[in-house]
């Protein structure tokens, strides 16, 4: 209507080919109905409105020529439509391509440039976007409001955010107000996301900005220049490319994985939620956030901060010095990946070994050794030391500790505190030292020795609840307890516990837990 270049109305199934040039006051081409095909191999110039405006479903628009428009380059209102651009779209005041509807698709191998808005704006669900060309916006390169979308930026693709103040980035996810938001998948497949300038809101360049509350799936094998802000939902990000900026995973239970030589020049922050971090071959900086997080650095010189929550930090056998800081909560640093053995002292805040280099340990309450012969020493704040496999030497420190030998012939000493000491399998030597300690045994405990059991301290205990062959104190006295020289010996028929310098006559039921 009005001053449109071509205005085609009806039930649809029309084919419109623009091989020459159209210059119009309003829409260059306006088509209504379903199943139309609009092919622009020439040029369209619209002074005040859209280059191509399509209202309907299952329409196809192909731009191999050029569109210049004051408003949208291509505006689609309806479902199941497709726009392909191998030519050029340039707009002055509005979006390059604008979708209103569900299950629409855009394929850009040419260029889309919006001088005052977003390169590609999506309002609807189930959208697929493939970029092997260039999409650029003064606001966002791509702005998406909807669920179940898939965005792929190919090897030659570039999505660039612009100079506008506020919520601007290369890719921006917004809420569509749906009650049950679903996931959005963003794959940067060797392509690039670039944020040109600094946002007034974050004071930093933002490449990906999600404030939709949805769960996002973001895979980067290319180049992301700017921060990645995935602010809501249970997000998954996999990076084997480069991110020049910080990553904020926001609320939700998020997963971040770096693969191979993937690198993030800034920090990776889990925010609120139970997050999982896995580093790659290079150096990573992880911040766990508010809940119990599972974190592993990988290769390189990593810095891992658990922050709040009871975090698990898995140390790496990469021969490079790392920093592990549990932060608040009760945090566990585990060297389960090591084979050669480590020497760790939580009081002196270090761990070293041939496989790990020299790591710095801060705010660590629990420490787990590996498969080698480890030496673990606690501090006043230590709650648990676990030797794992190997012949370990464990010293509890000043606090009330749980000390676990694991498999192997271990030497465990509680020092001060009310300690729970369990040698595990193997032939272990156990010493409680000061205060009242509990020595714990289970089937297959080996040939163990307790060097300083105090039978006159009613709070000192031997816990035999896990030894099924011994049922109670009467059974112990009658069938499993003998005096051998100056020591009392307990046996379940296969394994033994020797209590040095203890007379069986001084033992009573208060000394045991069954």
At 238-283, the pLDDT tens digits run 999 999 999 999 999 999 999 999 999 999 999 999 999 999 999 9
Give the mean model confidence (pLDDT) for residues 450-477: 98
pLDDT at residue number 106: 98
pLDDT at 284 over 90: yes
pLDDT at residue number 407: 95
Strand 88-91 relative to strand 294-296, pairing = unpaired
pLDDT band at 182 (very low <50, low <70, confident <90, very high): very low
Strands of 9-127 (E only): list them: 15-18, 21-24, 29-32, 37-40, 43-46, 52-55, 60-63, 66-69, 74-77, 82-85, 88-91, 97-100, 105-108, 111-114, 120-123
Closest CA to 386 of 415, 357, 366: 366
Task: Please tell me the total number of residues recorded for the chain in this structure.
Answer: 514
pLDDT at residue number 216: 82
Strand 384-386 relative to strand 227-230, pairing = unpaired
* 109: helix, strand or coil: coil
pLDDT band at 166 (very low <50, low <70, confident <90, very high): low
Report the half-sphere exposure of 89 (CA within 13 A, side-chain side). 39
> What is the per-residue DSSP string for 260-310?
TT-EESS-EE--SS--EEE--SS--EEE--SS--EEE--SSS-EEE--SS-
Give the mean model confidence (pLDDT) for residues 7-11: 86
Least confident of 87-91, 187-191, 235-239, 374-378: 187-191
Q: Taking a C-beta distance cutoff of 8 angstroms, is the pair 114, 91 a contact?
A: yes
User: Tens of pLDDT along 305-333?
Assistant: 999 999 999 999 999 999 999 999 999 99
Mean pLDDT (the chain) is 92
Residue of higher predicted confidence among 184 and 369: 369
Residue 134 to residues 51, 86, 194, 209, 346: CA-CA distances in angstroms? Answer: 19, 10, 11, 19, 53
* 511: helix, strand or coil: helix
pLDDT band at 181 (very low <50, low <70, confident <90, very high): very low
Least confident of 188-202, 211-225, 424-438: 188-202
pLDDT band at 175 (very low <50, low <70, confident <90, very high): low
Least confident of 21-30, 206-215, 319-328, 370-379: 206-215
Domains of the chain: residue spans and CATH: 1-94 (no CATH), 310-420 (2.150.10.10), 436-514 (no CATH)
* 455: helix, strand or coil: coil
Which residues fall within 8 angstroms of residue 467, CB to CB, at 6 or more apart? 441, 442, 443, 445, 492
Which residues fall within 8 angstroms of residue 505, CB to CB, at 6 or more apart? none
Q: Taking a C-beta distance cutoff of 8 angstroms, is the pair 327, 306 a contact?
A: yes
Report the half-sphere exposure of 316 (CA within 13 A, side-chain side). 23
pLDDT at residue number 483: 98
Query: What 8-state DSSP symbol labels residue 510?
Result: G
pLDDT at 137 over 50: yes
Write out the two tokens for 200: 């007034």
pLDDT band at 199 (very low <50, low <70, confident <90, very high): very low
- Give the separation between CA 9 and CA 34, rounded to whole angstroms: 10
User: Tens of pLDDT along 31-60?
Assistant: 999 999 999 999 999 999 999 999 999 999
Q: Taking a C-beta distance cutoff of 8 angstroms, is the pair 136, 153 a contact?
A: no
Which residues fall within 8 angstroms of residue 286, CB to CB, at 6 or more apart? 256, 267, 268, 270, 277, 279, 295, 297, 302, 303, 304, 305
- Tell me the whole-structure pTM to 2 decimals: 0.86
């Amino acid at each position: 209507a009005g001053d449109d270049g071509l205005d085609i109305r009806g039930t649809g199934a029309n084919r419109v080919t623009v091989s020459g040039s159209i210059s119009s006051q309003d829409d260059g081409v306006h088509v209504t109905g379903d199943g139309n095909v609009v092919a622009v191999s020439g040029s369209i110039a619209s002074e005040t409105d859209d280059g191509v405006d399509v209202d309907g479903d299952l329409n196809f628009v192909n731009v191999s020529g050029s569109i210049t428009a004051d408003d949208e380059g291509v505006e689609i209102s309806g479902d199941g439509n497709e726009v392909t651009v191998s030519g050029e779209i340039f707009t002055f005041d509005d979006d390059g391509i604008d979708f209103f509807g569900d299950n629409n698709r855009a394929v850009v191998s040419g260029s889309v440039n919006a001088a005052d808005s977003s390169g590609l704006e999506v309002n609807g669900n189930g959208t697929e976007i493939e970029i092997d060309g260039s999409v650029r916006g003064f606001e966002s390169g791509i702005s998406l409001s909807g669920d179940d979308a898939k965005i792929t930026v190919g090897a030659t693709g570039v999505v660039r955010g612009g100079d506008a103040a506020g919520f601007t980035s290369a890719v921006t996810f917004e809420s569509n107000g749906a009650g049950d938001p679903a996931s959005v998948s963003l794959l940067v497949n060797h392509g690039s996301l670039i944020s040109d300038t600094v946002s007034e809101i974050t004071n930093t360049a933002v490449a990906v900005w999600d404030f939709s509350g949805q769960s996002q799936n973001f895979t980067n094998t290319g180049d992301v220049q700017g921060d990645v802000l995935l602010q809501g939902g249970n997000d998954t990000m996999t990076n084997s490319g480069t991110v020049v900026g910080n990553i904020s995973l926001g609320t939700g239970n998020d997963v971040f994985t770096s693969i191979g030589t993937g690198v993030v020049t800034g920090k990776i922050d889990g925010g609120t939620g139970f997050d999982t971090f896995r580093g790659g071959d290079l150096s990573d900086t992880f911040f766990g956030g508010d809940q119990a997080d599972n974190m592993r650095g990988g290769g390189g010189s990593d810095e891992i901060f658990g922050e709040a929550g009871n975090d698990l930090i898995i140390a790496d056998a990469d021969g490079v010095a790392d920093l592990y800081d549990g932060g608040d909560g009760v945090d566990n640093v585990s060297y389960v990946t090591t084979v050669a053995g480590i020497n760790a002292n939580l009081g002196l805040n270090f761990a070293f070994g041939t496989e790990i280099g020299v790591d710095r340990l801060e705010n660590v309450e629990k420490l787990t050794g590996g498969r080698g012969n480890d030496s673990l020493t606690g501090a006043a704040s230590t709650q648990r030391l676990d030797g794992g496999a190997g012949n370990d030497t464990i010293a509890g420190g000043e606090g009330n500790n749980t000390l676990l030998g694991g498999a192997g012939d271990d030497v465990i000493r509680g020092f001060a505190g009310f300690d729970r000491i369990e040698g595990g399998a193997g032939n272990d030597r156990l010493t409680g030292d000061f205060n009242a300690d509990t020595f714990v045994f289970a089937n297959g405990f080996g040939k163990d020795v307790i060097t300083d059991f105090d039978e006159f301290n009613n709070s000192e205990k031997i816990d035999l609840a896990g030894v099924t062959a011994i049922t109670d104190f009467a059974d112990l006295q009658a069938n499993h307890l003998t005096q051998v020289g100056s020591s009392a010996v307990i046996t379940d028929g296969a394994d033994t516990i020797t209590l040095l310098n203890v007379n069986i006559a001084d033992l009573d039921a208060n000394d045991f837990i069954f």
